[in-house]
């Protein structure tokens, strides 16, 4: 896989030289790549091995600049629309999922495509189809414009789904009494915010149908839970992730609501000595699309300013693995 294996122990220690002021870094575990991101990146890498460069990728495969640039260096070309993909070359769809119209267009053109949609996102797609087939209008909890939301809306006929982003949006909904309704959610939302919105929906529409299990993915939930444990113990929390990464932004929000100063960073050089003024303990985590190599880079960068002592705080173990598309395993 693309990420170094996490040590099984609950803590590990590394101390730098004695001449620098001490800094305790509490590392969240789990952190970084989830199974869906691992799978998506492996799909692109195996496609390059099987078909040769270039392999086109529609949209960023995951929301992380380091990952995207690394795949570009290996021969991937990232585009926003299929119209930018020439005939006769393979194309990969991103982990966020795509509307049904996208693979249909690819088939019309005779393009070979590989779908890297996270299986947990695909599960939401199937739920959406079933709810519409049952005659229900779907209220979808998510962030407008996010690729996952666009992909999920594209699974059902236009007009069969309404987006809400806040509890206030729920209060503004206008449906006739007796309208059959269902709700679904984006997989990378705030666990607490989503729970509040679901409760608001159930209060307004007591008969609303919902999924049997949580739509928010295991990795999003686990990383937020880890931050809730870590944040009260530190002076500052650093979250490694892209500015367009929904799950990474939620980690910052979780810490801030606890009252901990939290910063979203992308690389080690986003940190300077001034940022560490008055800081004795830092929490460090990474969004689900940030590779472990960036965690090590941040630790190394911190070591320029402080004598770093690391401790890993483990809140749960993850062992989820998703299968690759059949085209890459035959």
Read off the pLDDT of residues 133-171 as tens digits, 9 standing for 90 and up. Answer: 999 999 999 999 999 999 999 999 999 999 999 999 999
Q: CA nearest 218: which of 322, 131, 62, 143? A: 322
Assigned token pair, 227: 């931050």
How far, in Å, CA of 62 to CA of 51, rounded?
21
How far, in Å, CA of 142 to CA of 140, rounded?
6
Q: CA nearest 154: which of 102, 91, 210, 78? A: 102
Length of the chain: 330
From first to last of the 330 residues of the chain, give the pLDDT tens digit. Answer: 444 333 333 334 444 445 899 999 999 999 999 999 999 999 999 999 999 999 999 999 999 999 999 999 999 999 999 999 999 899 999 999 999 999 999 999 999 999 999 999 999 999 999 999 999 999 999 999 999 999 999 999 999 999 999 999 999 999 998 999 999 999 999 999 999 999 999 999 999 999 987 789 999 999 999 999 999 999 999 999 999 999 999 999 999 999 999 999 999 999 999 999 999 999 999 999 999 999 999 999 999 999 999 999 999 999 999 999 999 987
pTM score, whole prediction: 0.90
The three-class DSSP label of residue 81 is: coil
Q: Which helix (H) or strand (E) holds 69?
A: helix 65-73
How far, in Å, CA of 324 to CA of 39, rounded?
7
Write out the catalytic residue numbers.
Answer: 148
Read off the pLDDT of residues 168-198 as tens digits, 9 standing for 90 and up. Answer: 999 999 999 899 999 999 999 999 999 999 9
Beta strand segments in the chain, E: 22-29, 55-58, 76-79, 91-93, 113-115, 137-141, 161-164, 181-185, 236-240, 261-265, 281-286, 307-314
Beta strand segments in 42-194, E: 55-58, 76-79, 91-93, 113-115, 137-141, 161-164, 181-185
Long-range contacts (CB closer than 8 Å, 24 or more residues apart) made by 16-22: 16/303, 16/306, 16/307, 16/308, 17/307, 18/307, 19/307, 20/305, 20/306, 20/307, 21/306, 21/307, 22/280, 22/306, 22/307, 22/309
Domains of the chain in sequence order: 22-34+217-314 (3.40.1010.20), 35-115 (3.40.50.11270), 119-215 (3.40.1010.20)
How far, in Å, CA of 270 to CA of 225, rounded?
25
- In DSSP terms, which residues pair with 237 in a beta bridge? 262, 283
Residue 35 and residue 320 in contact, taking contact as beta carbons nearer than 8 Å: yes
């Amino acid at each position: 896989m693309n990420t170094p294996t996490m040590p099984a122990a609950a803590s590990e220690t590394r101390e730098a030289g004695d001449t620098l002021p001490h800094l305790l870094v509490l590392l969240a575990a789990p952190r970084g790549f989830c199974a869906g991101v691992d799978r998506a990146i492996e799909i692109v890498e195996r496609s390059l091995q099987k078909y040769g460069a270039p392999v086109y990728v529609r949209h960023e495969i995951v929301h992380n600049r380091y990952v995207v640039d690394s795949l570009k260096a290996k021969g991937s070309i990232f585009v926003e629309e299929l119209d930018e993909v020439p005939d006769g070359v393979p194309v990969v769809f991103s982990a966020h999922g795509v509307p049904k119209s996208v693979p249909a267009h690819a088939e019309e053109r005779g393009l070979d495509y590989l779908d890297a949609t996270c299986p947990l996102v695909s599960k939401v797609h199937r739920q959406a189809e079933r709810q519409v087939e049952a005659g229900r209008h779907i209220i979808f909890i998510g962030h407008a414009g996010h690729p996952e939301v666009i992909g999920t809306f594209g699974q059902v006929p236009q007009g069969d789904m309404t987006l809400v982003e806040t509890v206030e949006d729920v209060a503004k909904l206008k449906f006739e009494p007796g309208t059959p309704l269902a709700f679904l959610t984006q997989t990378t939302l705030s666990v607490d915010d989503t729970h509040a919105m679901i409760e608001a929906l159930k209060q307004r529409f007591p008969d609303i149908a919902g999924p049997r299990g949580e739509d928010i993915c295991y990795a999003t939930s686990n990383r937020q839970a880890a931050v809730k444990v870590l944040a009260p113990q530190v002076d500052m929390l650093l979250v490694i992730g892209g500015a367009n990464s929904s799950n990474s932004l939620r980690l910052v929000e979780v810490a801030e609501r606890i009252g901990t100063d939290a910063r979203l960073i992308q690389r080690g050089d986003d940190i300077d000595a001034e940022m560490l003024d008055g800081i004795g303990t830092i929490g460090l985590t990474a969004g689900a699309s940030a590779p472990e190599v960036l965690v090590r880079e941040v630790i190394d960068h911190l070591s320029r300013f402080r004598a770093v002592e690391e401790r890993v705080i483990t809140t749960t173990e993850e062992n989820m693995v998703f299968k690759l598309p059949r085209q890459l395993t035959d």
